[in-house]
Chain A
Amino acid sequence: MTMRSGMVYGILLWGFISQALADGGVGVKAPSCSLSKIGGGGEKTLEAYQGKVIYVDFWASWCGPCAQSFPFMNKLQKELGSKGLSIVGVNLDEKAGDAMGFLNQTPAHFELVADAGGKCAHELGVKAMPSSYLIDRQGVLRFIHLGFKPTEAQALRDQVEALLDEKSPVK
């Protein structure tokens, strides 16, 4: 192996390693993400929910399984909200009107925000629609779910409950 090809392999290897590190994310502090209301305005970050278990769900109006997941998330928020669960539905539609049309059909009883330009989705490395991210009370990203299947809903709920049962951060 010449020095030149060694360098090329080295660069490739570095590319793969850094990609793998960037993709992981579980177990590290979740990015704060700048979010807004659907249609603009009302800047907000995930830090606003500090001390709570955050269920971040990325959705869009054109995504079928997203619509399927809404009743599940409504139920979860209703039953576990008092225990300290915050569900944040992050909309990724290009047009706010599409999101509104979807919400008329599929009511959401949890907090809704928009991620203009997909910045937050980039930071969290969203790979599928819908994607949900579970963040614990310390702000650490714990679980990532790609897509939504009704058969996996119970496992998801168990994870959320386990995170809720962990002791609150000492202040």
Chain B
Amino acid sequence: MTRLFGLFKVCMKAAKSGQATLAFSRRFSYSCNSLLRGLLLIAFSVVLDGCAEVQPWERGNLAKPHMGLQPFPSQAALREHIYGSRESASGSTASSGGGGCGCY
């Protein structure tokens, strides 16, 4: 942590003294890169902490019907069936007036 803080000071100093334009000068880029890496690591570990696995027994709310992607599952299934049978037969869209299989 103290190392990080030290790097932060070096970085800020370099930025203030106008060295920011010399971003590729060796010392500056080295220290600032490791500072950035350190900060990213901290941010990453903080964010990762928010990712908790939802256990199988905690899926009660997810199992509710209104959590489904389709609001009307049976209607969607029917439409999909009709669309699929036309599509695969004629290779055209369902609105092109009849499928090649003679089903409609």
Contacts and interface: CB of A to CB of B under 8 A. Distances in A.
Interface of A: 58, 60-63, 92-94, 98, 118, 121-122, 126-129, 131
A93 B58 CA distance: 8
Interface of B: 55-60, 63-64
Contacts of B56: 121, 126-129, 131
DSSP majority for the B interface?
loop
B63 A121 contact: no
Contacts of B55: 118, 121-122, 126
A63 B57 CA distance: 9
Query: Which residue of A126, A127, A128, A129 has the most chain B CB atoms within 10 A of its CB atom?
Result: A129
A134 to B, nearest CB: 19
Nearest to A129: B56
- The list of the 4 closest CB pairs from A to B, nearest first, reads A92-B57, A62-B63, A62-B60, A129-B56
A57 B52 CA distance: 25
Contacts of B63: 62-63
Contacts of A122: 55
18 contacts: A58-B57, A60-B57, A60-B60, A62-B60, A62-B63, A63-B63, A92-B57, A94-B60, A98-B60, A118-B55, A118-B57, A118-B58, A121-B55, A126-B55, A126-B56, A126-B57, A129-B57, A131-B56
